[in-house]
Structure 1
Amino acid sequence: MIEIAALMMIASGAIHAVVNAVLKSGEDKLASRALIDLSGGLVVLPAIFFFPPPHGAWGWLIGSLIVHAVYFLSLVRAFEVADMSASYPVMRGTAPVFAAMGGVFILGDAITVPVAAGMGLVTTGIFLSAIGRNLTPAALGYSILTGFSVACYTVLDAGGVRAAPTPMSYIAWAFFVLGVVIGGAFGAWRGRAFVAYARINWRSCVLAGAMGVVSYGLAMLAFSVGDLPRLAPLRESSILFALLIAIFFLREKADRLKIAGGMLIFGGVVTLLLAR
């Protein structure tokens, strides 16, 4: 079962990279984020009638809601002031370390030497790919805050999906609540600009919203059956896909450090897949 969970995390990472590329390519990133989140909430709306409310996990969900708000704001700001190929590696590189620590000290998950080694390779590769990208202090700060937020909501959602009556009940209600509350708040924040943006860009953002549900839904299902220290870094394989998207679709430059970082990430992913 853990092998299936690991593959789910890698698939989650690949889809996550596509969703973030849609966000990065949008002219109004806050409006784009609002439309993506609202779309995700509407996609799962029918599901909340088939799964019970996440009794026993509301505290986890409320905590996740608060952290997600910080995450989305810092993510938008990071993408506004830096290239995706520069900011994305840092934000995703800090996340697995913090998440693994949270899994060990808060959720009581175990961590072995192979898992620690794989996590180290992934994290080193991610940071290596960001070296030399001339991140400003503001971009670096927003990227690190984003990564820390990712780690926090990862631990909260891992706890929530385990505490809920069923994993699907937490997943469905979490996406609905997060989408409606945060997406609605961001949309209201942008006001008329959001309406104008949505008229033109609704197709790509609705698709990204649906993909976001699949991406993080896979991650939360994996958290319900596997340990966080091993699984969290696997989602950061998304950096490989993000770099390819940034280079070939967003026309950002490649260099040797990015290639070397990608090789380390691949080695870390393989190590984590084989770890016991």
Structure 2
Amino acid sequence: MELWIPITIAAAFLQNLRSAAQKHLKSVMGTTGATFVRFGFGLPFAFVYLWFLHVGAGYRIPAINPTFLFCVFIGAFAQISATFLLIYLFSYRNFAVGTAYSRTEPAQAAVFALIFLGERLTAGAIAAIVISVFGVMLISVAHMQMTWRNLVGSLFARNSLIGLASGTLFGVSAVSYRSASLALEGPNFMMQAAMVLVFTLSIQTIAMGGWMAWRDRAEIGRIAKAWKVALFTGFVGATASFGWFMAMTLQQAAVVKALAQVEMLFTFAASVFFFKEKINRIETAGCILIVAGILVLVLLG
């Protein structure tokens, strides 16, 4: 098994935990605060990972170059915007369709990688992306009344456009992070990923911290009151991002994000086994498609 596969699965599991924590935080603070927590409380852990690799493992710190800095800035701000839009979707009464469109990230990442990096996917990888994306979108609309009128009408709904924009920005950030990591040219994928993580979270923390200090100081107080959950969110978020960056250094961003759809399976496993919730036939079909997409990706992609 190629190393990027278990790394991606572990990152998807941790991201599932981070998403659950962020949803909880959204109930006690605004969208800005819930978005900031992921970055600001994750930054100390990013420095710990970099320190361990440099001092503990003895890997040299790679030289910074303009291409790296440019790609990190693009990725950092694209991810801030994508995360903000995704969390904002939760405030909609019917956010399912918007969330489904945000899950088109792997397909959009493939397009951006082709345009900006000239990276081409195999037929197997393309098939895997299409299958898994369709499966995730099925799950997201599983509790809607499934009529052609609803599906067609939802294409131009405000929450659908927000979700699509979120997926676009996540796709841009994924390709940017891969480009930034590859621009460092060594010493190895772990140190390259750690450098991307530290610079990314530093930029995001400064940008969002400055914004809150200027426009929404009350949000800082709400974050401070929820510091325990915020710290957990930062830890799992930073660790998940470290995993994403390592995987995307080893493999194309679109392929990594396609396998990352396994996160939905973790979500359903928790729903069924821990919360004793029942899933309907459409959700079951979506899960089967995700598994099929992952199998196609691993075997043929």
Same fold flag (TM > 0.5): yes
What letter matches 1:242 in structure 2?
Answer: T
1:239-258 matched pairs, under 5 angstroms = 239-245=264-270, 254-258=279-283
1:106 alignment counterpart: 116
1:55-204 matched pairs, under 5 angstroms = 55=65, 56-82=67-93, 87-92=98-103, 94-134=104-144, 137-166=157-186, 167=192, 168-186=194-212, 189-195=215-221, 197-204=222-229
Q: Considering only CA atoms, is the larger Rg found in Structure 1 or Structure 2? A: 2
* Residues 209-238 of structure 1 deviation map (CA, whole Å, 9 limit, x = unaligned): 111111111111111121233222111221
* Residues 9-48 of structure 1 deviation map (CA, whole Å, 9 limit, x = unaligned): 1221121121111111221242222223210123224566
Identity of aligned residues (%): 16
CA contact (8 A) 1:104 1:229 kept: no
1:36 alignment counterpart: 38
1:225 alignment counterpart: 250
2:11 alignment counterpart: 12
2:292 alignment counterpart: 267
Q: Judging changes above 3 Å, is the alpha-carbon distance between structure 1 residues 139 and 25 closer, same or farther for their aligned structure 2 residues?
A: farther
CA contact (8 A) 1:85 1:242 kept: no
5+ residue gaps, structure 2, are 55-60, 145-149, 187-191
* Residues 91-133 of structure 1 deviation map (CA, whole Å, 9 limit, x = unaligned): 12x1010001122232222311111111111011011112254
Rounded Cα–Cα distance in structure 2 between residues aligned with 1:270 and 1:208: 30
Q: Judging changes above 3 Å, is the alpha-carbon distance between structure 1 residues 275 and 7 closer, same or farther for their aligned structure 2 residues?
A: farther
| Count, aligned residues | 273
Rounded Cα–Cα distance in structure 1 between residues aligned with 2:207 and 2:167: 22
Rounded Cα–Cα distance in structure 2 between residues aligned with 1:187 and 1:16: 28
CA contact (8 A) 2:131 2:289 kept: yes
Which stretch has the larger CA shift, 137-146 or 151-160? 137-146
Q: Judging changes above 3 Å, is the alpha-carbon distance between structure 1 residues 82 and 184 closer, same or farther for their aligned structure 2 residues?
A: farther
Q: Is the partner of 1:80 in helix, strand or coil?
A: coil
5+ residue gaps, structure 1, are none
CA contact (8 A) 1:60 1:157 kept: yes
- TM-score normalised over the length of structure 2: 0.80
Alpha-carbon RMSD = 2.8
Rounded Cα–Cα distance in structure 2 between residues aligned with 1:79 and 1:177: 25
Deviation at 1:54, TM superposition (A): 3.3
CA contact (8 A) 2:86 2:99 kept: no
CA contact (8 A) 2:72 2:177 kept: yes
CA contact (8 A) 2:109 2:174 kept: yes
1:235 alignment counterpart: 260
What letter matches 1:192 in structure 2?
Answer: A
